[in-house]
Amino acid sequence: MISIVIATCNRAATLRDTLASLAVIETSRPWEVVVVDNNSTDHTRAILEELRPGYPVPLHALVEREQGRSAALNAGFRVARGQTIVTTDDDVRVPPDWLERIAAGFEAHRCDYLGGRVAPLWGAPPPRWLPARNGQLWAAIALLDYGERPLRFGTRVPLGVNMAMRRDAIERTGGFDPRIGRKAGTLLGQEVREWCRRAHAAGLTGFYVPDVVVQHLIPGERLTRRYFRRWFYWRGISRALLYAASGLDMEKPEQTTLDFATVPHVAGVPRYLFRSALGAAGDVVAATLRGDAAAAFERELWLWTFAGIVRQRWKDRHRPVLADSLRRARNGAA
């Protein structure tokens, strides 16, 4: 059996459309949908009660009181009956053969987890400063495209909006860390990266499978500079939390090579990050002077990430980063 697990909070309208999209899935394999209501105050519950009787497969609904996407997904994992667990969001559209492509991906690559492409479903015209290619700005609106060929995850990671795991991978690795996942009122993230790190430390493998595709609704309010600045600020906070937990480089966690136990710190922040911030500020000025507004904005976003890092590391200044965490990071066993 395949279990699709969705965490939702106050998104009744988009959830209804997502469930309608899932309802037309075509597969001979048994499957189910598990929706975890993470303290919604809208009519989410009424939507689920309305749809459940006529839904083509079992539609389970439960409430998770601990706030946060990670906590909600973990609750869904506990009740899901499938040997394959698929995570997605409450604002996606899927093709009818989505589950068949996921199953084929597992069979082709003999892997423990996989992820695929996430294409945009624009709720408004995208701004001119948003690149039409995979990159750091795409991360802010949960889009992903690593190309046309499968690749093994390592420095790259999937997005939780289009990710599938074997049940025994979750049992061996554990669920998502609720300390760093999305919570109401925040844009915390990095929970998938942290999970993949534990998975790799446990000897598990994951693959990017390009023909496993979903469309992700991108509402107009997320296509503003203000939203991107806020998102990257919270990325900095998330990266600082991840650093404290596992010693991953806050600038380039996918390329962690430094021994942070020996790196000089200022107010809990590795000193080289201040140099990176100064360099980014210089790049902003240079790009502005040559009239390249898109490049100036992209480099500005690193400064917002740095601001989030400084805030969280200052908050945690009296809490030392444990040597054991750093040692585990160096040894690849988070």
- For CATH 3.90.550.10, the residue range(s) in the chain are 2-223
Q: Is residue 320 very low, low, confident or very high in pLDDT (cuts 50, 70, 90)? A: low
Residue 52 φ then ψ, to 5°: -55, -45
Question: Which of 13-27, 239-253, 298-312 shows the lowest mean pLDDT across its residues?
Answer: 239-253
Task: Look over the chain and give the mean of its residue pLDDT values, rounded to a whole number.
Answer: 91
For the stretch 183-209, what's the b/e string if a residue is b when 16 or more beta carbons lie within 10 angstroms of its beta carbon?
beeebbbbbbbbbbbbbbbeebbbbbb
Residue 81, pLDDT above cutoff 60: yes
Which residues fall within 8 angstroms of residue 180, CB to CB, at 6 or more apart? 70, 188, 189, 190, 191, 194, 238, 241, 242, 245
The pLDDT of 115-130, averaged and rounded, is 95
Q: How far is it, in rounded angstroms, from Cα 290 to Cα 106? A: 48
Q: What is the pLDDT of residue 258?
A: 72
Could you tell me which residue, 333 or 316, shows the higher pLDDT? 316
Beta pairing, strands 2-8 & 84-88: parallel
User: How open is the CA angle 5-7-9, to the nearest 5 degrees?
Assistant: 155
Looking at residue 39, what DSSP letter applies?
S
Q: Is the pTM of this model over 0.95?
A: no
Q: Is residue 109 very low, low, confident or very high in pLDDT (cuts 50, 70, 90)? A: very high
Residue 309, pLDDT above cutoff 60: yes
Side-chain half-sphere exposure of 156, counting CA atoms within 13 A = 21
**Minimal CA–CA distance to 187: which of 140, 126, 127?**
140
Distance of CA 144 to CAs 55, 210, 240, 311, Å? 30, 10, 23, 28
Topology of domain 2-223, CATH? Spore Coat Polysaccharide Biosynthesis Protein SpsA; Chain A (3.90.550)
Contact 209, 149 (CB under 8 A): no
Q: Is residue 321 very low, low, confident or very high in pLDDT (cuts 50, 70, 90)? A: low
The pLDDT of 14-43, averaged and rounded, is 97
The pLDDT of 247-258, averaged and rounded, is 78
Over residues 141-190, the pLDDT tens digits come to 999 999 999 999 988 999 999 999 999 999 999 999 988 877 777 777 78
Q: Is residue 305 very low, low, confident or very high in pLDDT (cuts 50, 70, 90)? A: very high
